[in-house]
Chain A
Amino acid sequence: MKIAVVGDTDTVLGFKLAGVHETFEVSSPSEAREVLNELVGREDIALILITDSLASELELPDVRLPIILTVPDRWSEGKGEARLMEIVRRAIGVEIKR
C-alpha cells in the first residue's frame, strides 16, 4: 500500500525526491482537511504523513486505517514530542518528563 504526504512546498519536494507515492501540496489548513478527508476514504493508502504545523491547525480524523502520522517540517520545533506528552497525559493522568 502507498504512502501519501500532505504538506508545504519544501516538505512535499523533499519526500518527492525520496520517491513517496503521492504528494499533496497544500497552502492552508482547510485545504489540508479536504485532502485528508479524501485520503482517509481510500483503500490503497497505508500511511498519511502530515506536517506538524498543519496538523496543529486542524483536527486529525480518528481512523484506524490509514495511519496518520505527523512529521516535522522546517518550522515545527518539538511539536511531535508535545503531542506524545499529550497522549501520556490523557492515558495516565500525569505528565512524565524523560
Chain B
Amino acid sequence: MPELLNVKPTRMELLNLKRRIELAKKGHKLLKDKQDALIMEFFAIYDEALELRRSLTEKMQEAFKALTLAEVDIGLIPLKEAAMAVKPNSEVEIRSRNVMGVSVPMVQGGNFRRKERGYAFISTSTSVDVAAEKFEEALEVIVRLAEVEETLKRVAKEIETTKRRVNALEYIIIPRMEATRKFIEQRLDEMERENFFRLKRVKALIEARSGSGA
C-alpha cells in the first residue's frame, strides 16, 4: 500500500488531486515516449560506435606492427629522434549540436594524412613513413570515434535520467496520488453517510416528540 499524501479530505483537495493525477499521467506518457525515442537513437549510434571501435582496434594493431618494423629497421633512438622532429598535425574543432534535447559534440578534424612530416630523409627509411602513415590513419578513425562514442555516452546518460523519472512517476508518485484520491473519496462517502444517518435520527426524534405532544 503506497503511503498517502498529507492533505485534508475535502472536496476541494479531491478536485485538485484529480487534476494533478491527470497531469502526472500525461507527463508519464510523454517521458515514456521520449525514452523510447532515445533508445532507438541510442542503438543507431551504438552500431556506428561498435563498427568504428573495431576498425580502430584493427588500425592500431597494424600501426603497432609498422612501428615495430620501423624500430627494427633504423633503431629506437633514431626513431625517437625522427618523432621529435615531426611537425604538428592539423588541429580539430569541437562544436555541439542537439539530438533529441541532448547536447552532443561534433568533432571536426582536418586531414591527418600528409606527405611532408618534418624529419630528415637521410636518417630514416620508408618503414618510418609507413608507421607514421598508419598512425595518421588511426588518428582519423579516432576523431570520428571520439564524436560517436561521446554522443553515445551522453545519450546513455539521458536515457538513465529519463528512466529514473519514468519509474518515479509510475511506481511512486502516481500510486501515491491514486491512493490519496481513494482515501479522500472514501472519507467523503463516510461523511455523507454519517450526515444522512444523523438527519434520519433527528427526523425520528422530531417525529417522536411531536407524536407524544399530540
Contact = CB atoms under 8 A, between A and B. Distances in A.
Interface of A: 1-3, 10, 13-21, 46-47, 49, 64-67, 69, 71-74, 78, 80-81, 84, 87-88, 90-92, 98
B42 A17 contact: no
A19 B92 contact: no
A40 B28 CA distance: 38
15 contacts: A10-B64, A15-B135, A17-B67, A18-B86, A19-B86, A19-B88, A47-B142, A67-B94, A71-B142, A73-B60, A84-B50, A87-B153, A90-B156, A91-B160, A92-B42
A60 B149 CA distance: 15
Best-buried of A10, A13, A19, A72 by chain B (most CB within 10 Å): A19
A87 B159 CA distance: 11
Contacts of A3: 91-92, 139
Contact of B117 (A2, A10, A17): A17
Contacts of A80: 53, 56-57
Main secondary structure of the interface of B (DSSP, over half): helix
B42 A74 contact: no
B57 A2 contact: no
Interface residues of B, number: 55
Contacts of A67: 94, 105, 107, 146-147, 150
B83 interface: yes
Given A3-B92, A87-B152, A72 B82 contact: no
A69 B84 contact: no
